Amino acid sequence: MKGAALRRFTGLLRKEFLQILRDPSALAIAFVLPAVLLLIIGQGVSLDARGVPVALVVQHPDALTASFTGHFEQSPYFRPLRYRDIQSAEAAMAAGKVQAIVWLPSDFSRRARANGNSPIGVIVNGVDANDARLIEGYVQQVWSTWLAAQARLQGKRSPLPLDVAARVRFNPGVSSRDYLVPGLIALIMTLTGALLTALVMAREWERGTLEALMVTRVKMREILLAKLVPYFLLGMGGMAASVAIAVFLFGIPMRGSLLVLTGTSALFMLAALGMGLLISSFARNQFVAGQIAIITTFLPAFILSGFVFDIDSMPQVVQFITHIVAARYFVAILQTLFLAGDVWSVILPNALALAIMAVIFLAAARAITHKRLD
Amino acid sequence: MWRQVLALLIKELLTVLSDRKSRVVLIGPPLIQLMVFGYAATFDLNKVPIAIYNQDRSAASRDLVAHFTGSPTFNVVANLKSEKPIDDLIDSREVRMVLVIDPRFTRNLLSGHPAPVQMIVDGRNSNTALLIQGYANNILNDYALAWNARKGAPPPPAVLDMRARFNPTLDSHWFIVPGIIALLTQLVTLLIVGMSVARERETGTFDQLLVTPLRQFDILLGKGLPSLLIGGIEATVIIAATVWWFDIPLRGELLALYFGLLLFVVSVTGIGLMISSLAVTQQQALLGAFLFMVPSVILSGFATPIANMSEWVQYLTFINPMRYFLIIVRKVFLEGADFSALTAQYWPMAVIGLVTLITAAWLFRKRLS
């Protein structure tokens, strides 16, 4: 009996593998989708502002204003453009030619020499609030280095009494790509996992081949398992390819161990495939299954996973909701594995959550397929 | 002829809306996602957990600590007694920053030497790391200037007077929520057209459609109009929620926004129909829909600025309709733009729509053989 069950199962497996080979779209989902998306998007996502076009308006140029604007010219964050008056600078900002205006009024130098606290007008385009805030930070840096340089020049102490040093752990260059690419892998693997399995059960329902299978002695458990195994292998292959691209092409550091990476990826892949199987068994027709897959995978994994938007900044209710998004746990694991290393206090709870989600999805898929059988 | 197109349109609407699951999927999730994403998608920091290691313990440093405890941006969760737990706290993400105040802090302040303060920041999310440093620097600068004023030290020669145009409080919801209009409109449109032709191909009903007296253009109308109708209605609901629920100011012409919306839905419909007619199976169509949707959203400027992308990717975004529509939405909402300010965004979408729709219609018959 044992042997018969095993033979049945290998027969089913063979069928699945043949089906995969016959329609190349499964192979495309596993390898082409991650590679293409990672290559294009990996070059695209960045929150680091460099060479921001900024309008400099100096109404009375002299040595003091020149020393200030000189600091802008040296800064890698800015590309200064000169404007004669504030009106033309405002017009340039409205036209999108500059992101910010730095304005030294005509009495700037006089007031600076007389009483100090001479105002420097800074106007940023606030439409992209995040970008605007980063730009404000960079302006502030330019201002404080200029103050220090001025003081040194006059042989005085720095007018700011604090000496602030910053140390950024794990990502000393504060390059946003280093944190976005690991998150991107989690996002892409969510899609791959769900896409691989979202349609497979629905297709069999739609074509009636599942009923044909049901009249044989094959058990539902075996049918689902036979679907899971080949797609799991494909998904893990895609994951390996993605990690290779991240490390060798984008130069993202990999500080965790491969063993932990493989283990947690396997858990995540089971959860993602399980979700696909669940969608598929629930919808029973490919069109609806496809619609559900589009809706439940991409945008939640994009916005609610911590890939770009920090979960800690969200309101409590929304933070609570993010717990049903499997990608959330994988993003946390991947960001830590890539940038920090095997930090167990981050990896264990997140891996546990992934395991629970995998079990729930697979059990639910199994449960609703069974119910419809009789 | 119009009667036939109308009949086809009704049939298409029925296939989309008659299936209960499909109806639920089209209407429920986009509206739920609007509410959740509207609150979730923010770059603003709020109660970031930090720890302070104050080695100085005098009135001056306690005053600095109070500046941090009083800030709504930070939430001081631990006052450390030694530097040992610092790395662990950051590694485990319990805190995002540790502020270390040097034992020489007060002595240096009083003797006029720069007083050392160190920030140790978790860099795993580099954007948050930069923002944390920015906020902390603001607090430190305020403290420094206040100290100077109290001690009668000469003020710095110049100070910054910073203002933000169009979004004075730099609330990132003002940037993100209008973007969600584009995001969800594209989603709904793709849900309707992304697999529609492929489904009929797979079940064989598309061949039947092709042998009716309907011309390709009529089929195109029948297939495309439902997404225009449903996409338009859902977009209207989302725009209304943006204005009245999320309180985002709508400063420009609504008509200019709707003209952009029309062109956007038409161009996404064209792309969706093209993918759908290229595919032989629904699985291929779904793959195609994802291969378009994911890069089009991430490379649209929705969350990360296009100006930060590498150059060839920036060129690639020119064929992405969402890029143009996002500019339109934000310009109309925040900058108060009218028709004339948006022509540079309108025509590329019109071109994309035209090319993809013609290609889709051409592909209808091409695939028959």
The candidate with the shortest Cα–Cα distance to A58, out of A47, A67, A50, is A67
Residue B203 lies in a domain: yes
Residues B326-357: b if buried by 16+ CB within 10 A, e if exposed: bbbbbbbbbbebeeebbeebbebbeebbeebb
Compute the residue count for chain B.
369
The residues, any chain, with a CB within 8 Å of residue B119's CB and separated by 6 or more, are A164, A165, A166, A167, B97, B98, B99, B100, B132, B133, B136
Of B41, B154, B161, the CB nearest to A121: B161
User: B145 and B218: one domain?
Assistant: no
User: B274 and B237: one domain?
Assistant: yes
Tokens (6 digits) for A30:
């596993």
Do residue B312 and residue A43 have CB atoms under 8 angstroms apart?
Answer: yes
Residue B159 lies in a domain: no
Helices (H), B245-342: 254-278, 282-298, 311-316, 321-330
Secondary element (H or E) of residue B97:
strand B97-101
User: B317 and B226: one domain?
Assistant: yes
Given B151, B180, B208, which residue is the final one in a domain? B151
Q: How far apart are the first and last CA of chain A?
A: 24
Of B49, B158, B172, the CB nearest to A130: B172
Least Cα separation, residue B8 to chain A (angstroms): 19
Do residue A159 and residue B155 have CB atoms under 8 angstroms apart?
Answer: yes
Domain positions in chain A are 2-45+175-373, 52-153
| Residues in a beta bridge with A122 | A102, B162
Distance CA B238, CA B32 (A): 11
Secondary element (H or E) of residue A315:
none
Distance CA B116, CA B105 (A): 6
Which residue matches tokens 């993010």? A322
Contacts B60 to A, Cβ<8 Å: none
Quote the percentage of chain B above a pLDDT of 90. Answer: 34
Which residue in chain A is spatially nearest to B344 when comparing CA positions?
A95
Distance CA B14, CA B25 (A): 15
User: B274 and B180: one domain?
Assistant: yes
The residues, any chain, with a CB within 8 Å of residue B307's CB and separated by 6 or more, are A49, A52, B314
Cβ-contact B326, B179 below 8 angstroms: yes
Highest mean pLDDT of the ranges A258-267, B120-129, B198-207: A258-267
Tell me whether residue B366 is exposed, middle or buried, using C-beta atoms within 10 angstroms of its C-beta: 0 to 12, 13 to 18, 19 or more. exposed
- Vertex B311 angle, CA B132 and A38, to 5°: 70
Which residue in chain A is spatially nearest to B141 when comparing CA positions?
A160
Q: What is the ipTM of this complex?
A: 0.84
Do residue A139 and residue B21 have CB atoms under 8 angstroms apart?
Answer: no
| Residues in a beta bridge with B100 | B53, B118
User: B287 and B197: one domain?
Assistant: yes
Contacts B293 to A, Cβ<8 Å: 294, 298
Q: What is the mean pLDDT of chain B?
A: 87
Q: Report the topology of domain A52-153.
A: abc type-2 transporter like fold (3.40.1710)
Given B81, B116, B151, which residue is the final one in a domain? B151
User: B270 and B325: one domain?
Assistant: yes
pLDDT at B262 over 90: yes
pLDDT, residue A324, reads 92
Residue B121 lies in a domain: yes
Mutation site, B167, B203, B283, interface A, largest A CB count within 10 A: B283
Q: How remote is the C-alpha of B62 from its chain's centroid? A: 40
Of A143, A191, A318, the CB nearest to B160: A143
Least Cα separation, residue A9 to chain B (angstroms): 25
Least Cα separation, residue B138 to chain A (angstroms): 9
Distance CA A140, CA A133 (A): 11
Do residue A33 and residue B287 have CB atoms under 8 angstroms apart?
Answer: yes
User: B125 and B189: one domain?
Assistant: no
Contacts A346 to B, Cβ<8 Å: 91-93
Do residue A162 and residue B159 have CB atoms under 8 angstroms apart?
Answer: no
Of B120, B134, B303, the CB nearest to A133: B134
Do residue A313 and residue B128 have CB atoms under 8 angstroms apart?
Answer: yes
Average pLDDT on B309-313 reads 87
pLDDT (tens digit, 9 = 90+) per residue, B219-250?
888 888 888 998 999 999 999 999 999 999 99
Residue B123 lies in a domain: yes
User: B136 and B54: one domain?
Assistant: yes
Given B119, B151, B183, which residue is the final one in a domain? B151
B111/B232: higher pLDDT: B232
Tokens (6 digits) for A253:
């550091």
Q: Going residue by residue through chain A (374 aa), what tens digit of pLDDT does each one get?
A: 567 888 888 888 888 888 888 877 778 888 888 888 898 888 878 888 788 899 999 988 888 889 999 998 888 889 999 998 899 998 898 888 899 999 998 888 888 888 888 889 999 998 888 888 889 888 988 998 898 888 888 777 777 777 777 777 787 777 888 888 999 999 999 988 888 888 888 888 888 787 777 777 777 788 888 888 888 998 999 999 999 999 999 989 999 999 999 999 999 999 999 999 999 888 878 888 888 888 888 899 999 998 888 888 888 899 999 999 999 999 999 999 998 889 898 999 999 999 999 999 999 988 887 645 54
User: B254 and B226: one domain?
Assistant: yes
Do residue B305 and residue A128 have CB atoms under 8 angstroms apart?
Answer: yes
Contacts A122 to B, Cβ<8 Å: 160-163
* Strand order through the sheet with A100-104: A78-83, A52-58, A100-104, A118-125, B158-165
pLDDT at B47 over 80: yes
Residue B157 lies in a domain: no
Which residue in chain A is spatially nearest to B167 when comparing CA positions?
A126
A265/B164: higher pLDDT: A265
Of A122, A162, A336, the CB nearest to B117: A162
Which residue matches tokens 């206040």? B146
pLDDT, residue B367, reads 57
Secondary element (H or E) of residue B341:
none
- Torsions phi, psi for B70 (to 5 deg): -80, -10
DSSP for B135-202, written as a single string:
HHHHHHHHHHHHHHHHHTPPPPSEEEEEEEES-TT--THHHHHHHHHHHHHHHHHHHHHTTHHHHHHH
Give how many domains chain B has, as a whole number. 2
Chain A and chain B share a number of CB contacts under 8 A equal to 381
Do residue B283 and residue A203 have CB atoms under 8 angstroms apart?
Answer: yes
Contacts B295 to A, Cβ<8 Å: 37, 40-41, 44
- Domain residues for B223? 2-41+171-366
Distance CA B301, CA B191 (A): 22
Tokens (6 digits) for B66:
């109070």
pLDDT, residue A236, reads 93
pLDDT, residue A374, reads 45
Of B88, B164, B312, the CB nearest to A124: B164
- Torsions phi, psi for B48 (to 5 deg): -70, 125
Contacts A127 to B, Cβ<8 Å: 166-167, 174-175, 330, 334-335
Contacts B283 to A, Cβ<8 Å: 23, 25-26, 199, 203, 286
Contacts A175 to B, Cβ<8 Å: 126
Do residue B127 and residue A322 have CB atoms under 8 angstroms apart?
Answer: no
Distance CA A196, CA A26 (A): 6
Contacts A188 to B, Cβ<8 Å: 294
Contacts B202 to A, Cβ<8 Å: 286
Secondary element (H or E) of residue A199:
none
Residue B158 lies in a domain: no
User: B247 and B349: one domain?
Assistant: yes
Do residue A43 and residue B309 have CB atoms under 8 angstroms apart?
Answer: yes
Do residue A160 and residue B141 have CB atoms under 8 angstroms apart?
Answer: yes
Tell me whether residue A131 is exposed, middle or buried, using C-beta atoms within 10 angstroms of its C-beta: 0 to 12, 13 to 18, 19 or more. buried
Of A134, A298, A314, the CB nearest to B39: A314
pLDDT at B369 over 60: no
| Residues in a beta bridge with B75 | B49
The domain that holds B128 is classified in CATH as 3.40.1710.10
User: B144 and B227: one domain?
Assistant: no
